Amino acid sequence: MADDSRELTLYVQSKKVVTSFYRPPAASPPTAGVSGVPAVGVAVGGASTSLGESAASAGADAAVFFLSDDQSRCAAVSEEIASHRGYRLRVVDIGKAGRLERIVAEHLRGIEKFPVLVCPSGHRLIGTEQFSEENLCAVMPTELRSVRALTYIKVKGGDLDRIRRLLEGFPEVKELHFLTGDWDILVVLEFSPATTNKRQVLDFVTERIRGIPEVLDTSTLVPEYSITKFPVAA
């Protein structure tokens, strides 16, 4: 059974134009254009269609649907991120939609900007300016493939800039947060899952981080399961 919580719908809006440019005879191979040059393809909803083929089969003044480059880019990046994060993306072209699909899309009434990404949660991204990698990842949370750990650090008086530089020098240190209260620094660590277990995480903390002279104490949490809305490496 399909998991509806991982299905998204992307509505795009193509423009219809009537073209009367030269067409090869209908008997010509559909993949050949003028003088044997391959016909130009137009991508709509993830599928390519040959202008020469469409025009030849439609007659003298054929309707051709064009999807703008900015909408095509939004569709491409949405499909890429959905694929990497385990989501299914359905693309519906409102410009070519039939009666049934228009009824399904009634909740888009009044929207003037396209594309529109509709998520199972009801959240929507509207207009090309909202289709950033950060926004797309936020509406498609995914499991972390790497091992993350959170380490609280207490330090004694000293050169805080020096401590920061030392911590930044470890490839495993991905984030540093400076705190007030019982702990002075929160460090986010990341390790490869293929070679790391909880003991190895703690070995790194005790040997490398606690090896810094100014570090007085540490406390490390290793989550059993993690989900992120941040972009992650594919």
Q: What is the dihedral of CA 20, 15, 133, 145, to 10 degrees?
A: -80
Residue 202 and residue 147 in contact, taking contact as beta carbons nearer than 8 Å: no
Which residues have a Cβ under 8 Å from the Cβ of 7 and sit 6 or more positions away?
87, 88, 89, 90, 120
Residue 26 and residue 62 in contact, taking contact as beta carbons nearer than 8 Å: no
DSSP code of 37? P
Domains in the chain: ranges and CATH: 4-139 (no CATH), 143-228 (3.30.70.920)
pLDDT in tens, the chain (234 residues): 567 889 999 999 998 877 666 666 655 544 433 333 333 333 333 433 333 444 444 444 566 889 999 999 999 999 999 999 999 999 988 888 766 666 666 768 788 899 999 998 889 999 999 999 999 999 999 998 888 999 999 998 778 889 999 999 999 999 999 999 999 999 999 998 766 788 999 999 999 999 999 999 999 999 988 999 999 876
Q: How far apart are CA 84 and CA 101, in angstroms?
A: 27
DSSP code of 108? G
Long-range contacts of 3-7 (CB under 8 A, 24+ apart): 4/120, 5/120, 6/86, 6/87, 6/88, 6/120, 7/87, 7/88, 7/89, 7/90, 7/120
Length of the chain: 234
